[in-house]
């Protein structure tokens, strides 16, 4: 490696780390303000304009807080776990291209870009699991076990969702995935880019990937590893000061990184919705006003589009957290194993049908899959248990229903008071 290449490599690393570390306080501030708006509250508004300095105050507070180490904890692993949670979030973004300039992005344009991301995202589970085990606390251990089971369950669905992008592009390299999405929309609309999400398999894959994103980052409604109503704070229970801040930073950096992965694989990466290549041709041939317009759309706009898509996904993260309730653990497992994996396999199979036989057989397959699901859902809806709500004017003691044949069952609605509401 020449000194010039080394300099460019260090610059690329500095850009990625600077973006993650610099954007982190803004994401934390935005989430607190946005959730306050969703819940009709004010949110942080004391420090700085609109409360922008609140994350800095939180960081200073955590820096000066006392660090309490559990008496019977495994001190080495307990101290190592926060770093294991933060490090993968920092390095997983190394293969994400945020613009067309290969001197500036990505940090490493490797052939195994997607596999590298999956490997780094899996390492984050070790930090959570080791934090729960080394704390010598039952609540922490349960949180770590939940996290490990959750990661195993939803990484299968995430792999199937990413396999859709891999098969559609024919490559594991993220720069090539973006290049494939620069083609005309559906092969017939030349002025629009063919983002993968605009195809049936891409839409299903993007939906699966987003659900798995929430589970991989332990965000609501999949935040069972740190469920405060059940486990105090889960695997973070015994952590304070900067080690707690490391877990906090790792979660939000993982949100930014995984949003960048979804943007690259399904939302066209740094590509705009409109194809501006004719404008570039006019700038080369005609000059004049087309030159600054071509510079704006060709060199300056791609990073803007990438950041806009990442910001939109971060907003959806916050929106989901403010809207949905936490799932039960059985619901989380059922969703991962009985819904996401079968749907991902079906979607991947129909994409293969498209690549081998064309549009028509693939669309017929999607229509049949939707019809079969509608039939199954209709049959299940008929078997839903129906209950009755009985309102009495005054309290009365509970009496067990008689089981003799002469007695009238409550389900027939006979012998009941008039204040009966049928459910």
Question: Hey, is 108 helix, strand or coil?
Answer: coil
Instruction: Tell me the C-alpha distance between 238 and 136, whole Å.
Output: 9
CA separation for the pair 322, 48 (Å, rounded): 25
d(CA 329, CA 146): 9
Inter-axis angle of helices 341-357 and 359-382, nearest 10: 150
Q: Is residue 239 part of a domain?
A: yes
Output the pTM of the full model. 0.84
Distance CA 170, CA 233 (A): 43
Helix (H) or strand (E) holding 19: helix 3-38
Going by C-alpha positions, the residue among 184, 210, 208 that lies closest to residue 195 is 184
HSE (side-chain half, CA atoms, 13 Å) at 91: 14
Domain extent at residue 230: 67-276+288-382
Distance CA 309, CA 38 (A): 21
Give the number of other CB atoms < 10 A from CB of residue 32: 17
Local confidence pLDDT in tens for the 423 residues of the chain: 788 888 989 999 999 999 999 999 999 999 999 999 998 898 888 888 888 999 999 889 888 888 888 888 888 998 889 988 888 888 889 999 998 888 888 898 889 889 999 988 888 888 888 888 888 888 888 888 888 888 888 989 999 999 999 999 999 999 999 999 989 888 888 888 899 999 999 999 999 999 999 998 888 888 887 877 777 777 888 888 888 888 888 889 999 999 999 999 999 999 988 887 766 666 666 666 666 666 666 667 889 999 999 999 999 999 999 998 888 888 889 998 989 999 999 999 999 999 999 889 999 999 999 999 888 888 877 777 677 777 777 777 767 665 545 444 444 444 444 444 444
Work out the widest C-alpha separation in the chain, in whole angstroms: 95
CB 108 within 8 A of CB 94: yes
pLDDT of 378 reads: 84
Host H or E run for residue 278:
helix 277-285
Q: What is the pLDDT of residue 15?
A: 93
Domains identified in the chain, total number: 1
Grouping H, G, I as helix, E, B as strand and the rest as coil, residue 190 is: strand
Asked, for residue 260, whether it belongs to a domain, the answer is yes
Instruction: Decide if 29 is inside a domain.
Output: no
CA distances, 10 to each of 17, 219, 257 (Å): 11, 32, 19
Does 203 map to a domain? yes
- Residue 207 has a pLDDT of 95
Domain assignment present for residue 111? The answer is yes
| CB-based burial, 151-173: b 16+ in 10 Å, e otherwise | bebbbbbbbbbbbbbbbbbebbb
Element (H, E) at 257: helix 241-266
Asked whether 83 and 246 are in contact (CB, 8 A), the reply is: yes
pLDDT at 181: 92
268 part of a folded domain: yes
Query: What's phi and psi for 127, nearest 5 deg?
Result: -60, -45
Cα atoms in the Cβ-side hemisphere of radius 13 Å centred on 100:
13
* Within a domain: 233: yes
411 belongs to a structural domain: no
166 closest CA partner among 118, 232, 125: 118
């Amino acid at each position: 490696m020449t000194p010039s290449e080394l300099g460019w490599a260090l610059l690329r690393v500095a850009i990625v780390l600077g973006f993650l570390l610099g954007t982190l306080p803004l994401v934390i501030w935005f989430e607190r303000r946005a959730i306050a708006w969703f819940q009709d509250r004010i949110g942080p508004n004391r420090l700085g304009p609109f409360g922008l300095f609140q994350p800095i105050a939180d960081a200073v507070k955590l820096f000066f807080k006392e660090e309490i180490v559990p008496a019977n904890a495994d001190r080495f692993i307990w101290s190592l776990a926060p770093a294991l949670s933060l490090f993968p979030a920092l390095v997983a973004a190394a293969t994400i291209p945020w613009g067309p300039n290969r001197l500036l992005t990505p940090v490493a344009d490797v052939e195994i870009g997607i596999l590298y991301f999956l490997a780094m995202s899996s390492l984050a589970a070790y930090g959570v699991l080791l934090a729960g085990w080394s704390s010598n606390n039952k609540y922490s251990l349960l949180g770590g076990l939940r996290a490990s089971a959750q990661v195993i369950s939803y990484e299968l669905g995430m792999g199937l969702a990413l396999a859709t992008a891999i098969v559609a592009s024919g490559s594991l390299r993220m720069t090539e995935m973006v290049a494939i999405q620069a083609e005309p929309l559906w092969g017939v609309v030349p002025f629009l880019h063919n983002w993968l999400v605009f195809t049936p398999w891409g839409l299903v894959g993007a939906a699966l990937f987003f659900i798995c994103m929430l589970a991989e980052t332990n965000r609501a409604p999949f935040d069972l590893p740190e469920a405060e109503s059940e486990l105090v704070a889960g695997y973070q229970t015994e952590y304070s000061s900067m080690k707690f801040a490391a877990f906090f930073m790792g979660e939000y950096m993982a949100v930014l990184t995984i949003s960048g992965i979804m943007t690259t694989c399904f939302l066209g990466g740094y590509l705009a919705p409109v194809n501006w290549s004719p404008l570039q041709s006019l700038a080369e041939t005609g000059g004049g006003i087309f030159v600054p317009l071509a510079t704006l759309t060709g060199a300056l706009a791609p990073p803007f589009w990438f950041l806009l898509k990442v910001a939109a996904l971060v907003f959806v993260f916050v929106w989901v957290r403010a809207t949905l309730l936490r799932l039960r653990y059985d619901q989380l497992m059922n969703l991962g194993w009985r819904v996401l994996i079968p749907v991902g396999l079906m979607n991947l199979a129909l994409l293969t049908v498209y690549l081998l036989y064309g549009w028509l057989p693939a669309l017929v397959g999607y229509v049949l899959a939707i019809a079969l699901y509608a039939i199954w859902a209709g049959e299940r809806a008929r078997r839903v248990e129906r209950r009755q709500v009985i309102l009495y004017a005054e309290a009365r003691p509970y009496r067990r229903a008689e089981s003799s044949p002469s007695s009238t069952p409550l389900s027939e609605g006979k012998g009941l008071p008039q204040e009966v509401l049928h459910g």
